[in-house]
Amino acid sequence: MKISTLYQSQNPVISFEIFPPKSTSPVETIYETLEGLIKLEPGFISVTYGAGGSSRDRTKEIAATIKNRYKIEALAHLTCVGQAVNEIDQILNELQEENIENVLALRGDPPADAQNYDFSDSDFKYASDLVRHIKNSSNVCVAAAAYPEGHAHCRRLSDDLNWLKYKVDQGVDFLISQLFFDNRIFYNFLENALRVNIHCPVVAGILPVLNAKQIKRIISLCGASMPAKLLMLVDKYGDNAEDMEKAGIEYASQQVRDLLESGVDGIHLYTMNKPQQVTEILKNVGKA
């Protein structure tokens, strides 16, 4: 089933993101995570794609397990940076052979050690090229990423929004947002998206802050801003793992509750492969 149809029938759609286990761990270690998440009856589960395609086979295998064994829709992430058209086509064929009908089309980041990476040499320079290619060559439902605070490499928010509009016009069925910690940022973004005539569903990406070290690393990677209220929580509880986790679950629960009240299309929880904490959040908001 195409995930886009869920946004017409369910309001809101609750979904999860997981990542494949490291290559040094057996792929089966993800099953425990999945068993915990599936009990929560999500609309779909997305599976990340390691930088540069490093988790390609595992992403496919786990997405296929979600779809064919657990009978839940799977959204396979796919990045195109540094990939040739025939490589992308091969992956798309493999996904479709596994009945996976939904792809999150991403540009991806250049390798960390490649300074001044030249995107102009790539078959695909931007995610919009990948979206167009998938739509022209298959019947797959395509999601794409959106950045309520702007993408880290884009100097002007208005440019980012215009490129997002261009990407959507290439055939995006729904958008999933980068994580944010202040819902007002997301609501402003929704207004701005409407202003430039983006009318597809825009799903709110929520990351529960479960430990202080994790949050510093993630913020440095994605550039999301930290509201004073959250900074104070990390300051107060950061040294105590148990208290920090409790505070993080409460903070995420408040964000989700407010988003539900405001009638968002969907909430995509970045689970960090932690089903127990996700269960607590959904219980707190009456969704489990």
Applying CB under 6 A, which residues contact ligand FAD?
48-49, 51, 77, 79, 106-109, 126-128, 145, 151, 153-154, 159-160, 163, 167, 176, 178, 205
Question: Is 17 marked active-site?
Answer: yes
Closest distance to ligand FAD from the beta carbon of 63 (Å): 11
- Report the interhelical angle of 228-237 vs 212-222 (nearest 10°): 140
Closest distance to ligand FAD from the beta carbon of 263 (Å): 21
Closest distance to ligand FAD from the beta carbon of 143 (Å): 8
102: helix, coil or strand?
A: strand
- Whose Cβ is closer to ligand FAD: residue 58's or residue 151's? 151
Catalytic residue among 17, 101, 149, 280: 17
Q: Output 59-66 pairs: Cβ under 8 A, ≥24 positions apart.
A: 59/20, 60/91, 60/94, 60/95, 60/98, 60/100, 61/27, 62/18, 62/20, 62/27, 62/30, 62/34, 63/95, 63/98, 63/100, 64/98, 64/99, 64/100, 65/30, 65/31, 65/34, 66/34
- Residue 115 tokens read as 């300074």
- Whose Cβ is closer to ligand FAD: residue 148's or residue 238's? 148
Closest distance to ligand FAD from the beta carbon of 158 (Å): 10
Closest distance to ligand FAD from the beta carbon of 267 (Å): 12
CA 251 to the chain's CA centroid: 19
CA 145 to the chain's CA centroid: 7
Which residues pair with residue 204 across a beta bridge?
A: 267
DSSP 120: G
- Whose Cβ is closer to ligand FAD: residue 81's or residue 244's? 81
Secondary structure, 3-state, 249-275? HHHHHHHHHHHHHCCCCEEEEECCCCH
85: helix, coil or strand?
A: helix
Catalytic positions, written as ranges? 17
